[in-house]
């Protein structure tokens, strides 16, 4: 039997087929890696779950863990506008402790600091226990569960009930549209963004609370809101002196950087401009800004319709089957705060430590607040090793609860 002879054309076709197969396998491997990373980022680490359970148990058995926070004589300071007020909203006890500890250690006058830590009902006992047993004096810490705010009722926040219960939302998070996606028509970056948008935190009440700050803190004039994935490295008191020019929100703009993931975002990166309502009302070149470290002038806010605008656009997105923007709190906030944002110096807030492993270490050291936004949180195993020490330096590894739960071991 004679050997079959192949023409140059035959070899070209064979080579083309081999290359296509190789590229397809590489692509599928990349998407599988992104999916695994998504699940790793969404899971609660065993150590953090242990910490919450043990502290909750301590609340029920230890009177000192249940002591009033703050002590009765300090309660008037919770609404004293001569103090520096910070708000942190989270169900992650370890993350909250790092935010508060780092801010206190970096502040020039910690005796003038008040932290309003807000958590959900299931985490309240554990969060209260942590700050009762680990005071950050002379700073003042007030821990509240969302169930303890009289104003925070379903009647006052009807949109949140719709977001949490809407069938479209449930299908978005629990359906198979990601698994069934046509990967040949999807870029890895788009796929990663869609996966991140599926995070349950985006429909969490805690994540939406920042839009209700004027109502939740009716006696306060100005607050700094901090996300739970930040570390404070510099005294933040000068933020209260920043001239907001009558605006409501002091924030770092994210439209002037060179990287694609974090600091080069405009409205076109968040909104679907093929939707007629978006195209009619928004400019794709409008600069974006960052949540995570914001100075809010609550007096100026109360004179606006920002919260109502936020609600109205959330409803429109629901009516549009979530086609106006990817899920999250920033897109509707970009619309609601339009015209009410004062750009502040970028050195106040450095973003992207949960996205990129090539972050410049010297830039990290210089930033007032560093933000691990992105999937690679420092408390997760997928966190970047060279960036983790900026966070772990504020974890008290000698604490019995931290040690017994084997945090990050």
The pLDDT value given to residue 40: 44
The H-or-E segment that residue 178 falls in is none
Give Cα separations from 409 to 95, 387, 389, 397, 406 (angstroms): 16, 16, 14, 10, 5
Q: Which residues of 70-104 are buried (b: 16+ CB within 10 A; e: fewer)?
A: beeeeeebbeeeebbbbbbbbbbbbbbbbbbbbbb
Strands 293-297 and 249-251: antiparallel
| Annotation: CATH topology of 46-404 | Spore Coat Polysaccharide Biosynthesis Protein SpsA; Chain A (3.90.550)
The pLDDT value given to residue 177: 46
The pLDDT value given to residue 207: 84
The pLDDT value given to residue 319: 84
Radius of gyration (C-alpha) of the chain in whole angstroms: 24
Across the chain, which has 409 residues, the per-10-residue mean pLDDT values are 65 74 65 49 78 97 96 97 98 97 98 97 97 97 93 72 56 49 53 51 77 95 98 98 97 81 85 96 95 97 95 87 82 96 96 82 95 91 92 95 89
- pTM of this structure: 0.84
DSSP secondary structure letters along 203-259: G-HHHHGGGGHHHHTTT-SEEEEE-TTEEE-S--GGGGGS--TT-SEEE-B-SS-S-
Q: For the chain, give every domain's residue range.
A: 46-404
Strands 349-350 and 369-371: parallel
Q: What is the 3-state secondary structure (H, E, C) of 306-323?
A: HHHHHHHHHHHHHHCCCC
Backbone angles phi, psi at 223, to 5 degrees: -140, 155
Place of tokens 């926070």: 69
| The token pair that represents 113 in the structure block | 């600091």
Instruction: Give yes or no for a cis peptide into 70 (omega within 30° of 0).
Output: yes
The pLDDT value given to residue 20: 73
**Number of helices and strands (H, E) in the chain?**
16, 10
């Amino acid at each position: 039997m004679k050997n079959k002879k192949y023409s140059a054309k035959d070899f070209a076709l064979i080579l083309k087929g081999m290359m296509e197969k190789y590229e397809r396998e590489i692509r599928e491997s990349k998407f599988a890696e992104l999916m695994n990373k998504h699940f790793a980022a969404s899971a609660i680490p065993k150590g953090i779950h242990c910490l919450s359970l043990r502290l909750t148990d301590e609340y029920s058995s230890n009177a000192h863990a249940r002591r009033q926070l703050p002590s009765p004589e300090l309660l008037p300071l919770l609404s004293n506008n001569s103090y520096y007020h910070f708000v942190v909203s989270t169900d992650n006890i370890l993350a909250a402790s790092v935010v508060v500890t780092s801010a206190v250690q970096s502040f020039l006058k910690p005796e003038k600091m008040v932290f309003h830590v807000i958590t959900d009902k299931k985490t309240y006992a554990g969060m209260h226990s942590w700050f009762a047993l680990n005071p950050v004096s002379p700073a003042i810490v007030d821990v509240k569960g969302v169930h303890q705010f009289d104003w925070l009722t379903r009647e006052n926040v009807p949109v949140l009930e719709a977001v949490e219960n809407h069938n479209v939302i449930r299908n978005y998070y629990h359906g198979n549209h990601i698994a069934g996606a046509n990967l040949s028509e999807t870029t890895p970056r788009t796929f990663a963004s869609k996966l991140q948008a599926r995070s349950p935190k985006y429909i969490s009440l805690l994540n939406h609370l920042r839009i209700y700050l004027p109502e939740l803190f009716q006696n306060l004039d100005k607050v700094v809101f901090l996300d739970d994935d930040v570390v404070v490295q510099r005294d933040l008191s000068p933020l209260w002196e920043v001239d907001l020019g009558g605006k409501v929100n002091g924030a770092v703009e994210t439209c002037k950087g060179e990287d694609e993931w974090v600091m080069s975002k405009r409205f076109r990166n968040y909104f679907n401009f093929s939707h007629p309502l978006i195209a009619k009302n928004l400019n794709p070149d409008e600069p974006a800004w960052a949540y995570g470290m914001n100075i809010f002038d609550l007096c100026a806010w109360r004179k606006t319709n920002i919260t109502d605008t936020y609600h109205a656009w959330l409803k429109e997105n629901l009516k549009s089957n979530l086609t106006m923007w990817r899920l999250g709190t920033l897109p509707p906030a970009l619309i609601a705060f339009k015209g009410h944002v004062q750009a502040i110096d970028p050195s106040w807030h450095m973003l992207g430590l949960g996205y990129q492993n090539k972050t410049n270490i010297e830039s990290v050291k210089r930033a007032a607040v560093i933000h691990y936004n992105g999937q690679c949180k420092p408390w997760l195993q997928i966190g970047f090793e060279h960036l983790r020490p900026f966070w772990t330096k504020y974890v008290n590894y000698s604490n019995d609860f931290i040690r017994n739960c084997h945090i990050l071991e």
